[in-house]
Structure 1
């Protein structure tokens, strides 16, 4: 778990658990922390790591509501917590249930330390809400929060650092062995909107895109998976219309069978 500097004062940090990627943007007056980890201990470790680089006041932004991106925030308080407006009800209505679910998962997986940390974790809903776009002045540098449209969730938010040519994309972009993983898709996912969201990120003309999981990528990676998502949408429509069987769709997909099954099952 080390910092990688992508441009002056713009960093990503890789985490072993779930291959999570968090971010940090440092201005002259304050800094912005992008996602906070999955429990109070992970958040505390991240806060200490930020303090190794800067002692400036910080704000936090959530790329979406999923626990691994939001549950570490209490270590940063008091501070502004930014997110898309639909992230707020997601955390308020489902946060405690999600916490209990993942604590049980980690306990069953033989990771009692993470399970115990989750039970000690307080959930921090956002208090600064974004509808479509918001500019944050960090002092000599602007971070732009952009809702690219529904994709991984209906409340995805990306962070554009224009002077550095960097976009922190959250789970709208994932850099697994095959691009996407089975966990990329859920009943929250908008498969038809996802290629449009990638197009919105490409329209920002990034030099570097930081995914929610995995190492940084370039715009070519987004173009490749934009086309892959278009293909998944075509296959899903064909299966639902009875024009293509599932086995045929799996064979025609640009992704492995387990990833394709997860994508085609999205309502």
Structure 2
């Protein structure tokens, strides 16, 4: 299923996809635009690039919220342009991108989706060339954009993209709508504080999760409380004050999600 554009604020659009319930972004300015995430392979990236070109012919800049394949593997069709990311994103793609590509190709093939498997296998991974350590500012078509790294959470390199004049925050997978947060590469004990930094930007505006429909501040506050509860359970199990079974029972998330969080926390 192809995507659909949703305008969430003045000249800030989100493109929603049924595949992985993914959300990517587009910030339009006067004479330039910013693409937030590029989807999961070169074919998907080319589709997104074509859809952006139906809206604007202005030069684009790309920012990647984190290194996971579904947000970063579609970058090649956007070149040549600046590609921004947190410095850990480039390091992760350089060190582990090929293995990740092979693993996801095998997974899609096993699920009976050889078309996507083939697309991923053929994809050339692009390494970001503009790196953010903690914070960087851009001007895109006359509009200010702030990129901030608040610490580890969903991944080691989650970059938050803030469009102040529109009151919009692109959260990447630090926020998840429609499914429990994904802990496969996460840092469960650090995630709540990282979301706290994001909330400092959110105000009363709109937050764009990496997956699912846009949300408001109240949704993010509630999700932060849930991931803080999971962090607390992880700490109790690691300290030997609680059994894994009790943690699974008390968690706000399904057993599989919580078990993954416990493993990532060292329980």
| TM beyond 0.5 | yes
CA distance in 2: counterparts of 1:107 and 1:254, whole angstroms: 32
Question: 1:116: Cα distance to partner?
Answer: 1.2
CA distance in 1: counterparts of 2:53 and 2:248, whole angstroms: 47
Residue of structure 2 equivalent to 1:103: 105
CA distance in 2: counterparts of 1:21 and 1:247, whole angstroms: 35
Match of 2:135 among 125, 129, 133: 133
CA distance in 1: counterparts of 2:141 and 2:38, whole angstroms: 22
Question: 1:222: Cα distance to partner?
Answer: 1.2
Residue of structure 2 equivalent to 1:248: 246
Question: 1:5: Cα distance to partner?
Answer: 0.2
Counterpart mapping for 1:128-207 below 5 A? 128-177=130-179, 179-180=180-181, 184-186=182-184, 188-206=185-203, 207=205
* Post-superposition CA distance 1:29-50 (Å, at most 9, x none): 2101000010111001000111
Residue of structure 1 equivalent to 2:223: 225
- Deviation >3 Å, runs of 4+: none
* Post-superposition CA distance 1:56-90 (Å, at most 9, x none): 00011110011111111111111100000111111
Question: 1:258: Cα distance to partner?
Answer: 2.1
CA distance in 2: counterparts of 1:237 and 1:86, whole angstroms: 26
CA distance in 2: counterparts of 1:27 and 1:39, whole angstroms: 27
Instruction: Tell me the SS of whatever aligns to 2:62.
Output: strand
Residue of structure 1 equivalent to 2:37: 35
* Post-superposition CA distance 1:7-43 (Å, at most 9, x none): 1110111112111110010111210100001011100
Q: TM-score, normalised by structure 1?
A: 0.95
CA distance in 1: counterparts of 2:189 and 2:241, whole angstroms: 19
Q: Which ranges of structure 2 fall in alignment gaps of 5 or more residues?
A: none
Residue of structure 1 equivalent to 2:258: 260
Residue of structure 2 equivalent to 1:237: 235
Deviates more, 1:200-209 or 1:41-50: 200-209
Q: TM-score, normalised by structure 2?
A: 0.95
Q: Which ranges of structure 1 fall in alignment gaps of 5 or more residues?
A: none
CA distance in 1: counterparts of 2:102 and 2:248, whole angstroms: 34
Residue of structure 2 equivalent to 1:73: 75
Q: Is the 8 A contact 2:178 2:212 kept in 1?
A: yes
Match of 1:46 among 27, 48, 53: 48
Q: Is the 8 A contact 2:189 2:234 kept in 1?
A: no
CA distance in 2: counterparts of 1:193 and 1:235, whole angstroms: 13
Instruction: Tell me the SS of whatever aligns to 1:265.
Output: helix
